[in-house]
Amino acid sequence: MHMHGTSERPPVLLGLNTFGDVGLGPDGAPKPEAQVIREVVEEGVLADQVGLHSFDVGEHHRRDFAVSAPEVVLSAIAAKTEHVRLGSAVTVLSSDDPVRVFQRFATLDAVSSGRAEVILGRGSFIESFPLFGFDLEDYETLFEEKLELFDRVRSQKPVHWQGRHRGPISGLTAYPHVEEGLLPVWVGVGGTPQSVVRAAHYGYPVSFAIIGGEPARFAPYVELYKRSLEKFGKPYTMLATHSPGHVADTDEQAREELFPHWLAMRNRLGEERGWGPGSRTEFNAQASRPGALYVGSPETVARKIADTHRALGTERFDLKYSNGTLPHGAMMKSIELYGTKVAPLVADMLA
């Protein structure tokens, strides 16, 4: 089944994101990474069964996230699914080789019969830089240079390229080729104007990571992206947003299930990044109608997704359903409700 074409689609496509967050076992100790990875495969299979558009897995190189090779996990999911699109969220291009990134996703595209896509980003964590021998001083230039090389490799034509951070390529082509058209590529953006303009320069769609504040504040970036596409003579395809959240039968249940895991993760990252401690007040503000936390009953979450679409005009919403040590069972229930209840409600609200 080849998925690169566009058929009749709802106003907002609904997808899922996970980083393979390492949860706790019955004894309160962190689960083995191997178990977490197998659970991610189960979650991806369920996403397909409940009719969701896409399932994206992030790349990290730290103890609290189990997935460092998203394409391998996605290939396992591909073998057990039929329709769901499979992508990364994100692939840290800065500390990888653009030729290998293309080859791995072209291989995933073959295995999945045309369901692969890659979301490229600089990553919000920096562990991959020392791990793979890159200098953080080169944070900006690494991404710019590697994105340029990736774009040339993606064309599936002979590459002539020279840069600062790796050896030149003279007239070589990367294989395997994608079966139909070109590999679908997104750029993940945290909210800098330069990143928006850079994505538009290549004509790549953007996925905005909205993890705090009101989604509506990203409206100027949407406008900047559309103006930049016009300037570069590139066609508009689509835009997405990505935000954390959790769905349960009722608002109260969803909030109570998520809060302790949200707080633990918020405080762990806060310690690393010099933020003050999180609180129930902060959580409630983010979980309220304009906030960036999509938590609640199917109707509450659907309403927030519809609000975001109206505010930004984005055509896809990706829920980061894994939140720190939130248990696998709660995540499976969240995925089920998201596909079977939230998706039809969003379609009705925007009809």
332 exposed, middle or buried (CB, 10 Å; 0-12, 13-18, 19+)?
A: middle
- Residue 71 is assigned to a structural domain of this protein: yes
Question: Is position 171 within any domain?
Answer: yes
First to last CA, the chain: 28
Find the angle CA(143)-CA(191)-CA(337) to the nearest 5 degrees. 105
β-bridge pairing 85-88 and 91-92: unpaired
Mean of pLDDT values over 310-315 = 97
Is residue 305 assigned to a domain?
yes
pLDDT score at 338 = 98
- 69-117 pLDDT, tens digit each: 999 999 999 999 999 999 999 999 999 999 999 999 999 999 999 999 9
76: exposed, middle or buried (Cβ count in 10 Å: 0-12, 13-18, 19+): middle
Cβ pair 49, 41 in contact under 8 A: no
Averaged over 283-289, what is the pLDDT?
Answer: 95
199: closest CA among 223, 220, 225?
A: 225
| pLDDT over threshold 50, residue 1 | no
Q: Which two tokens stand for residue 126?
A: 């920096």
Predicted confidence (pLDDT) at residue 2 exceeds the cutoff of 70:
no
Quick one: pLDDT at residue 7? 53
Task: With respect to residue 8, please indicate whether it lies within any of the assigned structural domains.
Answer: no
Task: Tell me the residue range of the domain where 119 lies.
Answer: 13-350
Burial of 111 (0-12, 13-18, 19+ CB in 10 A): middle
User: In angstroms, rounded to a whole number, what is the distance separating the alpha carbons of residues 129 and 134?
Assistant: 5
Give the separation between CA 222 and CA 312, rounded to whole angstroms: 7
Q: Domain count for the chain, please give it.
A: 1
Is 76 a domain residue? yes
Asked if the model's pLDDT at residue 178 lies above 60, the reply is yes
Ranges 130-139, 195-204, 268-277: which has the least confidence: 268-277
For the chain, give the mean pLDDT.
Answer: 96
- Which tokens is 326 given? 């939130």
Among residues of the chain, what percentage have pLDDT more than 90? Answer: 93
Residue 7 placed within a domain: no
CATH, residue 53: 3.20.20.30
Per-residue model confidence (pLDDT) at position 185? 98
3 in a domain, yes or no? no
244 within some domain: yes
pLDDT of the residue at 8 = 72
Helical (H) or strand (E) element with 240: strand 239-247
**pLDDT higher than 80, residue 3:** no
pLDDT in the model for residue 9: 82
Residue 278's pLDDT is 93
* The predicted structure's pLDDT at residue 28: 92
CB atoms within 10 A of CB 310: 13
Residue 272 CB burial class (10 angstroms; 0-12, 13-18, ≥19): exposed
